[in-house]
Amino acid sequence: GGNPTASPDAPDRDEVPVNRVLPIPAVDSIDDYLDRREGGIGLATAQDIGAAATLELIEASGLRGRGGGGFPTGRKWRTVAEQRGPRHGVVNAAEGEPGTFKDRALIRADPYQLVEGALIAAHAVGADEVTIAVKASFEQESRRLSAAVQEIEAAGWADGVRMVLRGGPSAYLFGEETGLLEVLEGRQPFPRVA
């Protein structure tokens, strides 16, 4: 049964993907990412237009983080890009919010997209290293991310950007931005006061 109110050219309701964000089945290789998700286009575009234009594009897009605050991504990237000295990208994939599964679902479905996004950010802010922080207890997600990083590096996409995968504690506070940075610097996952 089709939809009687749909135009004759519209796809049958049963054929329309229910979820536009998560690919079904999951993306399992860089070749799959290239074929099904048009992988690499975002990174190639960012490299072609340059860091300044990439920052402007991200700011104009209105893209926001998926955390509770929904902070504007362009503003965050611009702040990092304007810092003096070496810059370091950090991906918070620690999923600190109780009862949520958003980061883990995205990583399980398509870790290549996360790694490509991290490389775009690194390019835009001038970072030569990116750390992807995930709870050590997220074993499946860590394996998926590790495989994606290895394939993307082998394909030459990282080009001068060192990719590091770091496991952290299962504590709720590890998912908080400054608590995560504390762990990466060898301390307990307590939020910074100032």
Q: Which range in 2-11, 83-92, 170-179 is most confidently predicted, on average pLDDT?
A: 83-92
| Mean pLDDT across 142-154 | 97
Tokens of 29: 């290789």
- Confidence bin at 11 (pLDDT 50/70/90): very low
Percent of the chain with pLDDT over 90: 68
Does the pLDDT at position 22 exceed 90? no
Report d(CA 44, CA 120) in Å as an integer: 9
For residue 36, how many other CB atoms are within 10 A of its CB? 13
Q: How many residues does the chain have?
A: 194
Q: What is the pLDDT of residues 36-62, one digit of tens each?
A: 888 999 999 999 999 999 999 999 999
Does the pLDDT at position 18 exceed 90? no
Report d(CA 29, CA 62) in Å as an integer: 30
Spatial neighbors of 181 by CB under 8 A, at least 6 apart, are 90, 192
Give Dmax (Cα) for the chain: 62
- Confidence bin at 95 (pLDDT 50/70/90): confident
Output the pLDDT for position 20. Answer: 67
| Mean pLDDT across 82-108 | 88
* Residues 105, 91, 129, 55, CA torsion sign: positive
User: What b/e string do you get for 152-188 counting C-beta neighbours within 10 Å, with b at 16 or more?
Assistant: beeeebbeebebebbbbeebebbbbbebbbbbbeeee
Report d(CA 164, CA 116) in Å as an integer: 14
Tokens of 138: 């997220």
Burial class (CB in 10 A: 0-12, 13-18, 19+), 104: middle
Output the pLDDT for position 194. Answer: 67
